[in-house]
Amino acid sequence: MRYEIFKQDAPNQPHSNVGSVHAPDAEMALMHARDVYGRRPNAVSMWVVPESEIYATSHEPEAMSHEGRTKNQEPRTKSQEPEAHGSKLTAHGSSPTSYAVFRKTSQRRSMTYVAYAGTVEANTPKDAVTAAMHKFPSPATFVWWVCPEAAISKTEAEAAPSWFEPAKDKVYRQQAYYGDATRKNRRQRTKLVNKLSSDETPDEA
């Protein structure tokens, strides 16, 4: 099963989609997310959501093509017709469900992915998108993703020191660590190592 991964880089930033992993269940998905997307700093928290639980819509495709975007640069199409998948998306009965809302508000190449906006109450995913448009009118949103809040599995706050902190010490994972192997550059590498380890403050954004 494919899980979408949402990574938070600092406590004051939203969880943003960074890609996906294949995993048999949410616990393994979280571990894979950590290994694949948390190898290099920074991360303070991760969420995983089964792809089948995500309902996605795109808006203003013309505006995007003005920027020279092609279809395949869009986030992958999610369950456009969730009912047809027999997914749990619609199996929450008649009482409103809390949906997590993610959106893409920039067309900048570096911001291809959706970020968490907040939650809405709705009966269906489609209604959740409508509710999200009202609740989060600005800035202009190009892509909406919604999923039942209950479908999100999260890293535990107390696990963070083991889950994410050690990556900060592993300078050998940084490209700059491998400039080359001459003595002169070895000195520069030592400087980099010292710099990286002195930057290591808990509050760094």
Partner 1 sequence: MNANLTSALDSRLLALADDELILAHRDSEWTGHAPMIEEDIALANIAQDELGHATLWYAILCDLRKQPDEHTDQLVYFRDAADWRNAQLLELPIGDWAFTMLRQFLFDQFEWVLLPALTKSSHTAVTQAAAKVLREEIYHTRHSTAWVRRLGQGTAESHRRMQTALDVQWPLANQLFVPMLGDEALVAAGIWPDMAPLQQQWLAKVGEMLAECGLIAPASAATRVSRASHTEHLTALLADMQSVARLDPQADW
Using CB under 8 A as the criterion, which residues of the chain lie in contact with partner 1 when the complex forms?
Answer: 21-24, 27-28, 31-32, 34-36, 39, 159, 161-163, 165-166, 170, 172, 181
**Which lies closer to partner 1 via its Cβ, residue 36 or residue 63?**
36
**Which lies closer to partner 1 via its Cβ, residue 98 or residue 188?**
188
Q: How far is the CB of 183 from partner 1 (least distance, A)?
A: 8
What are the Cα distances from residue 62, in Å, to 45, 59, 69? 35, 9, 10
Q: How far is the CB of 205 from partner 1 (least distance, A)?
A: 22
**Which lies closer to partner 1 via its Cβ, residue 23 or residue 117?**
23
Q: How far is the CB of 5 from partner 1 (least distance, A)?
A: 11
**Which lies closer to partner 1 via its Cβ, residue 126 or residue 154?**
154
Q: How far is the CB of 167 from partner 1 (least distance, A)?
A: 9
End-to-end CA distance of the chain: 33
Measure the CA–CA gap between 132 and 130, rounded to whole angstroms: 5
Helix (H, G, I), strand (E, B) or coil at 31: helix
Q: Phi/psi zone of residue 19: left (φ > 0), alpha (ψ -120 to 50 degrees), beta?
A: left
Amino acid at 165: E
Helix (H, G, I), strand (E, B) or coil at 93: coil
Buried b / exposed e across 140-167, counting CB within 10 Å, b at 16+?
A: ebbbbbbbbeebbbebeeeeeeebbeee
**Which lies closer to partner 1 via its Cβ, residue 110 or residue 162?**
162
Q: How far is the CB of 23 from partner 1 (least distance, A)?
A: 7
Query: Phi/psi at 116 (nearest 5 deg)?
Result: -65, 135
